[in-house]
Structure 1
Amino acid sequence: MKAVTDADFETEVLKSDKPVLVDFWAEWCSPCRMIAPILEEISAEYGDKIEIVKLNIDENPQVPAKYGIMAIPTLNVYQGGEVVKQIQGVKPKAALLRELGEFV
């Protein structure tokens, strides 16, 4: 999974042709580390339909502040430059896929 930053967020996420799931995470967040391998699997299986990227909130504070990210892990799906779905917390792969059904 690719990492995005405050600097390239607009180009990589908001201007993407396909839906982009952004994983807002931090190094110290153990639930974030739990969900990472699940997101890797989903990315490998559905990467042709949805892009999955990570944004480290400690290194890139502007984007999380703009979108009101208060808890991590938070997964936002962006489509056409807008947040179209938000998922908070760790969920099993099957539950995540159900939530992402319209995109995958």
Structure 2
Amino acid sequence: MSQLKSVTDASFEDDVLKSDKPVLVDFWAEWCGPCRALSPILEELAVEHEERIEVVKVNVDENPAIAAKFGITSIPAVFAFKDGQHVHTSIGAKPKPALEQEFSDLLA
């Protein structure tokens, strides 16, 4: 379905918190329609900004520990991490220009 890397409870620290680049984490679930709508937009951002950011996915049903750690109560939720720190959150499916504006500090 998605070309984005799947991150798990076990790999989150290495894949996200220890990443050399800022990381956008898409918290999603298979049954979530808005999550499916957001996925191709995040894939576009990943390709267009591959030099600057990583974009990964966390299935909240399969990885409840990391979802609980970050208080995920609504999906889709896109969290931005930079230097191991959570720096921004976007909740809900949004059009690409809105996401580019929200995360502009990481994409520039």
TM-score tier after normalising by the smaller chain length? over 0.9
> Which whole-Å CA distance do the structure 2 matches of 1:47 and 1:88 have between them?
22
RMSD over aligned CA atoms reads: 0.5
User: Please, which runs of 5 or more residues in structure 2 have no aligned partner?
Assistant: none
In structure 2, the partner of 1:6 is 9
In structure 2, the partner of 1:66 is 69
| Identity percentage of aligned residues | 55
Q: Tell me by how many angstroms 1:47 deviates.
A: 1.2
In structure 2, the partner of 1:98 is 101
> Which of 23, 27, 41 is equivalent to 2:26?
23
> Which whole-Å CA distance do the structure 2 matches of 1:73 and 1:35 have between them?
8
User: Please, which runs of 5 or more residues in structure 1 have no aligned partner?
Assistant: none
In structure 1, the partner of 2:90 is 87
| TM-score between both structures, scaled by the size of structure 1 | 0.98
Structure 1 runs, 4 residues or longer, greater than 3 Å off: none
Cα-to-partner distance string for 1:49-80 (whole Å, 9 max, x where unaligned)? 01000000000000010010100000000111
Across the two proteins, how many residue pairs are aligned to each other? 104
| TM-score between both structures, scaled by the size of structure 2 | 0.95
**Helix, strand or coil for the counterpart of 2:44?**
helix
> Which of 41, 56, 64 is equivalent to 1:53?
56
> Which whole-Å CA distance do the structure 2 matches of 1:50 and 1:11 have between them?
15
